[in-house]
Structure 1
């Protein structure tokens, strides 16, 4: 009886011990699973975080590239805008003497009336084509435009020197001046000031040479449908004092372009002298002749004195040619007789 009871207790203890072991094993197994799942989740989270970091780094690089590209585009647009602004200002200030263009447009705009000055001595050239109005009536509009284009090219070629400033240019007449600009080519395409560029004898000789070139260029222009006709150009040169300044700086716009205005008795006398010149001739005033008479390359002939409207006799000379100047000058046999010059002496 006692043995059976003892055996029953042992069996009970063994069962309890086995159940406890199974419970421990089960708990350990469950905890292992939980730990494994936690590690997998942690690894998954770390992988997701790494992927996110890589994505953000990639986006950061892309944003930097976009920012650099946009910065370059903005800089390029600013450069193009400045170029367009400079082109607009060049159009506005392009008719000013070259010396003024050495300054920036901003300086020109800020200087205002300070740009006005007196020139003790300058040389002027005035020229026009006789009977041009009659010629216009004989040509078609297209032929007239073609002829004007050729005339403008001839004038631009003769006055290509940057020290010659064209004051006025209409269809058949032109007025230019030299002696306002003190600039020469100093080499390497750089423009530098020269002490002898603006000497009166220098700019007078320069403009006298340009007058001969102009006479050669204009008379070489062929009139459409009238190839045997020669344009009857008359030219005058005069030297004297004048005043000049930029007009229109206070209200600059595309419709109000600044221009350089030159005035004085020398300008008026040049116009008068031009109106009394003869076809295919260059009349030179005594004042201009005195400046270049020392240059023996120029060939002059004394003109008969004639009375001005104020009663004073005007002394002048014909400029015939210049030694060493390789151009074709017209013959006086090609000049119109005075009887056919309807608009001569019409100042």
Structure 2
């Protein structure tokens, strides 16, 4: 599962994998907004458990689409479609459906160790050509190369929380298909190394209902991002108070049981085994 099937077969048979150029693929990036702040108020094990739980749910969503999970880097999640198996124009359609499914899941997800704290992710999608291959001998990985990868990453980093930021090239491919995706123009967005380009927000599919979370506005997001630390502190204080109250109730309950046990022991006469020995050689109990 670490490498695509054709790559594994090539490695087994020849010990190497020839790099391959794909004329058109769609690449998805997402990351967790405020991840550094979440880590600051979490133990290392809580961070691992959180990412593991989130990514396991993401992985299960991928099973329903023709996509390939490339890798995870910290809180970043990278997926591609159209490679290693070419699928016509389906790569943009499958990534778009997958992104909507992931965003629907995030809207209902609750952090176990920080109850009440929302999980915000940014999603970026872009389509174009790229090369793929396995580099290195130790721990071989299937890597993607090219400007398409960089642009998809820029689409994610310049997006907004709980939004699917899509490039014009992906929208053009979606228009070629029979699927009627709903989207709205964001306007000109500055992409580092690319300049200003027209980008879009993907909002749904006509005739299909997605339970998407309501994204904050750009102004509200700035305020929410500043307040995130205070929200986490309040959540931790509430959890500590609940834990302290539970411990007090537990201690009180233990004391009451001990008193009841002590009282019961003093009021009830103890039972004894009486051993009577007589001149008769038999012993009676």
TM above 0.5: yes
CA-based RMSD: 2.4
Q: Distance in 2 between matches of 1:141 and 1:152?
A: 17
Residue 186 of structure 1 corresponds to: none
Say yes or no: does 1:137 pair with 2:137.
no
Q: Judging by fraction of residues, say which structure has more helix.
A: 1
Which residue does the alignment assign to 1:198? 87
The alignment's TM-score, normalised by the length of structure 2, stands at 0.71
What do the CA deviations read for 1:218-265 (whole angstroms, capped 9, x no partner)? 3322112432222111101100111111223xx4xxxx2221111000
State the partner residue of 2:7: 100
Give the 5 Å matches for 1:282-293.
282-293=164-175
1:270 aligns with 2:152: yes
**Higher Cα Rg: structure 1 or 2?**
1
CA distance in 2, matches of 1:210, 1:311: 26
Tell me the residue number matched to 1:233.
121
- Whether the 8 Å contact between 1:230 and 1:334 is mirrored in structure 2 is no
Number of aligned positions between the proteins? 224
Q: In structure 2, which of residues 59, 72, 75 is the aligned counterpart of residue 172 of structure 1?
A: 75
Tell me the residue number matched to 1:78: none
Aligned mates of 2:216, 2:12 — CA distance in 1: 53
TM-score (normalizing by structure 1): 0.59
Cα deviations by residue, 1:39-63 (Å, 9 ceiling, x for unpaired): xxxxxxxxxxxxxxxxxxxxxxxxx
Q: How does 1:19-98 map to 2 (within 5 A)?
A: 94-98=1-5
Partner of 2:196: 313
In structure 2, the residue corresponding to 1:304 is in which secondary structure? strand
Match of 2:26 in 1: 123
- Which secondary structure does the structure 2 equivalent of 1:305 belong to? strand
Shift of 1:159: 1.7
1:308–1:231 Cα change, 3 Å: same
> 2 CA distance for matches of 1:311 and 1:272?
9
Q: Deviations over 1:183-232 (max 9, x none)?
A: xxxxxxxxxxxxxx610x21110011011111122332211243222211
What is the SS of the residue equivalent to 1:303? strand
Task: Look up the match of 2:131.
Answer: 243
Say if 2:239 is the partner of 1:330.
no
Structure 2: unaligned runs, 5 residues or longer: 227-285
CA contact (8 A) 1:216 1:330 kept: yes
Query: Aligned in 2, Cα 1:99/1:330: closer, same or farther, shift over 3 Å?
Result: farther
Structure with the largest fraction of strand: 2
Give SS of 1:208's match: helix
Matched position secondary structure for 1:245: strand
CA positional deviation for 1:124: 0.3
**Do the aligned residues in 2 keep the contact of 1:132 with 1:172 (CA within 8 Å)?**
yes
Q: Which runs of 5+ in 1 are unaligned?
A: 1-93, 183-196, 343-347
Is 1:212 the counterpart of 2:119? The answer is: no
After superposition, the C-alpha distances for 1:160-192 in whole angstroms (9 at most, x for unaligned) are 25742222202311111110133xxxxxxxxxx
